[in-house]
Amino acid sequence: MRSVVESLKGLLPAILLGLVVALGVALYQARTQNNSIQLLTLPVEQRSMVAPVPGSYRDAVSSAAPAVVNIHTAIESLDSDHPLLSDPLMQQYLDTQIRQDRTIAPLGSGVIVSAQGHVLTNHHVIANAPNIIVELRDGRSAIARRVGSDPESDVAVLQIQMSGIPVIPIAQTPSQIGDSVLAIGNPFGVGQSVTKGILSATGRIAGLSTFEDFIQTDAAINPGNSGGALVNIYGELIGINSAIFSRGGGSQGIGFAIPTTLALDVMQQLIANGRVIRGFIGIEVEALTEQVREGLNIAGGMLITAVYRDSPADQAGLAPGDVLIKIDGAEVINGRAAMIKITDMQPGERTELGVLRGNAELSLPVEIGVRPNAG
């Protein structure tokens, strides 16, 4: 019995130490539980990240974004031993270290629209670039070939050679005012970004180029977004982002995109001909005042203010002061509609122009010519 007691006495310090440790752990756990932040999480069966939640556009972005590219140009820097740098006068103004390699300058965005590597962008994005580099979202890049550019529609086409090129799907049905849209591009050179808005209007004329039929959207289109994609909720291309209306340089909720139908038509002509071939008769017109129209008893009509020498109009007998009232039997309502009607005709095609000259109404046949390049 005495040996048992002696054994217990020997174990008593260890037992006491164990009790102290257990009590400390219990107190720590209680304190931790009292101070922990209680977070609410939904059960797994109530949520899933496999399928997009209602209101998410991740599928559209996943479909479209890989085909939206950044467009850069490479600018040669002055070498450190360049003669200009030894000029004391120049040294007063050069307070930065001159790099000997190339500087990559961001220009804007573009969209790959064909498996052959054709890239749609804006004319104004690449107009003054000495060379063009196209960078994909996956980090790959390639030097682009200029296929052609049309300043009158602000559309340009590039081409890159690369394997496994992502291609954006093209919308087959027109979007409607009020539809949700996404703008994808490279704003301010920060990298690819996505903004959301609605299709605010169609057929907008902003005075930015000669041939306009803009889609208007309130999706943020900032500098650098130009040439990027405007897509619907399925990730299908409906327009090429072109410009913003802004008083301060930032997005004001009024952005413009070139409709895909117009951009693709220009692209096809640039690929086939290297330029866009448009009809031309060689006149300048201006709108008539309501008072003049009432006096002539006509609903529309345009005053011909100039006729280009040796142009189709000149050869047909049109003269300044004539009032253009019909083209191919259809009444002329405004100058832009009349210009588009003529430019849509093929060179060599013949049409009839109805004009008022004094009190006489004349019908003058004219053969459509080729509209000169805008440069």
Cα–Cα distance for residue pair 268/283, rounded to 1 Å: 27
Instruction: Report the relative pairing of strands 229-231 and 237-244 from DSSP bridges.
Output: antiparallel
Q: The tokens of 134 are what? A: 């196209």
Name the catalytic one among 72, 124, 153, 242: 124
SS3 76: strand
Give the number of other CB atoms < 10 A from CB of residue 258.
27
DSSP code of 160?
A: -
Give the number of other CB atoms < 10 A from CB of residue 161.
11
Exposed, middle or buried, 231 (CB in 10 Å: 0-12/13-18/19+)?
A: buried
124 is catalytic: yes
Name the catalytic one among 226, 242, 251, 322: 226
226 is catalytic: yes
Closest residue by Cα to residue 65 from 106, 108, 111, 107? 111
SS3 119: strand
322 is catalytic: no
DSSP code of 310?
A: T
Name the catalytic one among 72, 123, 154, 242: 154
Cα–Cα distance for residue pair 371/276, rounded to 1 Å: 9
Cα–Cα distance for residue pair 126/71, rounded to 1 Å: 8
Exposed, middle or buried, 68 (CB in 10 Å: 0-12/13-18/19+)?
A: buried
Q: Which residues are catalytic?
A: 124, 154, 226
